[in-house]
């Protein structure tokens, strides 16, 4: 069973690039965040600002992020960013991102996020919660 793959296409802007003329590394992590919200919206049909309310969570906080930079992306490049859940665990999951420049893989990324609610014992903190079975199933592509 495959996991839903979301695609997002956009253009590399001047503001994304550094003095070497290529996208500055932290921008890719910003793109990954954009893409994870898009993936959840595409699958769950809920606009990002309503996601937390719709599922009774506080959010999907990131606990781990990584990227491998294979080839540069440059000002004006049309890129495609594909994203899918690589693994659901009890209360956390991995999102894998691949950014393509002219069809060639340029950056691979991974985020680990948690299905989190406000901690009843300490309202300033979050705690993980089991991901509802129904949510997990909706990411499955038959």
Report which of 122, 111, 4, 123 is spatially closest to residue 60, judged by C-alpha positions: 111
Q: Is residue 130 a contact residue for its own copies (CB under 8 A)?
A: no
Q: Lay out the site mask for its own copies across 73-102 (x = CB under 8 A, - = otherwise).
A: -xxx--------------------------
CA 113 – CA 39 distance, rounded (Å): 13
Give min distance, CB of 2 to its own copies, in A.
26
10 burial (CB, 10 Å; 0-12 / 13-18 / 19+) is middle
CB 12 within 8 A of CB 79: yes
Please say which residue, 65 or 136, places its beta carbon nearer to its own copies.
Answer: 65
3-state secondary structure of 53: helix
Give min distance, CB of 68 to its own copies, in A.
5
Please say which residue, 18 or 140, places its beta carbon nearer to its own copies.
Answer: 18
Contact positions toward its own copies, by CB under 8 A? 13-15, 17-21, 24-30, 33-34, 37, 47-50, 59, 61-69, 74-76
């Amino acid at each position: 069973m495959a996991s839903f793959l979301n695609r997002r296409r956009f253009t590399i802007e001047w503001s994304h690039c550094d003095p070497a003329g290529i996208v500055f590394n932290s921008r890719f992590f910003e793109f990954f965040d954009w893409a994870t919200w898009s993936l959840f919206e595409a699958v769950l049909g809920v606009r990002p600002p309503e996601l937390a309310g719709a599922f009774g969570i506080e959010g999907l906080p990131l606990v781990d992020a990584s990227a491998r930079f294979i080839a540069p992306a440059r000002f004006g490049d049309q890129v495609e960013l594909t994203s899918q859940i690589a693994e659901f665990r009890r209360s956390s999951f991995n999102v894998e991102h691949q950014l393509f420049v002219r069809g060639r893989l340029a950056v691979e990324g991974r985020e680990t996020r948690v299905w989190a609610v406000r901690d009843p014992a300490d309202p300033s903190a979050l705690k993980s919660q089991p991901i509802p079975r129904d949510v997990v199933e909706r990411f499955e592509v038959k």
